[in-house]
Amino acid sequence: MKRISLVAFICTVLVGDLAHGQTAGGTVYIDTAVGNTLYRRTQFVNGNKVESIIRNDGTFGMPGTQYRAYSGVWPIGSGHGHVDQMSLMVGAEVTDNNGKPTHIISESYSGATSYIDQNLLTGRQYAWNPLPGYFNPNRAVMDPRTLRWDSTNSAQIASSTDPTTWPRTWPGKDATWNGTWDGYFGKDQFNADQEVVYVIDDSYNSEFAFYPFSKDTSRRGLGLQVETRLFQWAHPLAEDQIFVHFQITNVGDVVDFQRSTTPIYLGAFADTHP
């Protein structure tokens, strides 16, 4: 029996003088927008022998039996979903406002039921949330039943294979990028057979008394912003995998994970189908 690993997570942690967006590797774009549940979208990736529904909140797959035939399916077209849900997890030890060492973990795992790990006062889930600007909010598709253009729930995460999903302008890019693909390998570079991009932050993670932004107490978590890209190649050497690259940046101004002794941990929480 052929054994495969459907999803490969790759993390890059940028921990230089991030208040100015500088690292040893050069300038890093820090998006000034803030994550919000209003910007949550889905996308379907099917650039090789793996197909799956994904979400722009740091997760891969969709929990629930109704999505089983669409979540981590291999081989493509079989309807055999192997993945219930996977979530990026980033944890660190910080000192909270009371002077106590505190361990904070940012993730978006929700399970098959509604997300219950949340602030009971505000109702906000302690989860990653997407920033605006990485999908086309005005995207419309033709309803094959009525032959009319429909914009209801048609906005999807930006995908290299569908220009209708691209935003009018890309965050951090000048006007010469308008109408082009903002690829990992450069402008209009389609190295992968399918590439998807979105950006998230952990500002909703208000479980503990830690404030990573000294001038904005509404933004919580660890003060992290993560550019997320998914890649699929149809080449035989990579046709059975989806590669997910997380570029994790500390955009807060309270903790510098490089200059302090603060440990930071990366991982993923996964639930699979039998």
∠ CA 246-169-215, nearest 5°, is: 60
C-alpha distances in Å from residue 42, one per residue of 67, 71, 99, 130, 249 = 13, 12, 40, 11, 23
Q: In terms of Cα–Cα distance, which of 13, 213, 206, 19 is closest to 102? A: 206
| d(C-alpha 21, C-alpha 23), whole Å | 7
Residue 227, beta-bridge partner list: 199, 247
> Is 10 in contact with 241 (CB distance < 8 Å)?
no
| d(C-alpha 203, C-alpha 127), whole Å | 8
pTM for the model stands at 0.89
Q: Which pLDDT value is given to residue 32?
A: 95
DSSP 179-208: TS-EETTEET---SSEEEEEEEE-TT--SS
User: Which two structure tokens, joined as six digits, stand for 4?
Assistant: 């495969």
User: Residues in the chain, how many?
Assistant: 274
| Residue type for position 44 | F
Specify whether the backbone of 250 is left (phi greater than 0), alpha (psi in -120 to 50) or beta. Answer: beta
pLDDT by position in tens, the chain (length 274): 444 566 676 666 554 443 334 444 456 889 999 999 999 999 999 999 999 999 999 999 988 888 888 899 999 999 999 988 899 999 999 999 999 999 999 999 875 445 557 777 777 889 999 999 999 998 876 665 666 666 656 789 999 999 999 999 999 999 999 999 999 999 999 999 999 999 999 999 999 999 999 999 999 999 999 999 999 999 999 999 999 999 999 999 988 766 667 778 888 888 887 6
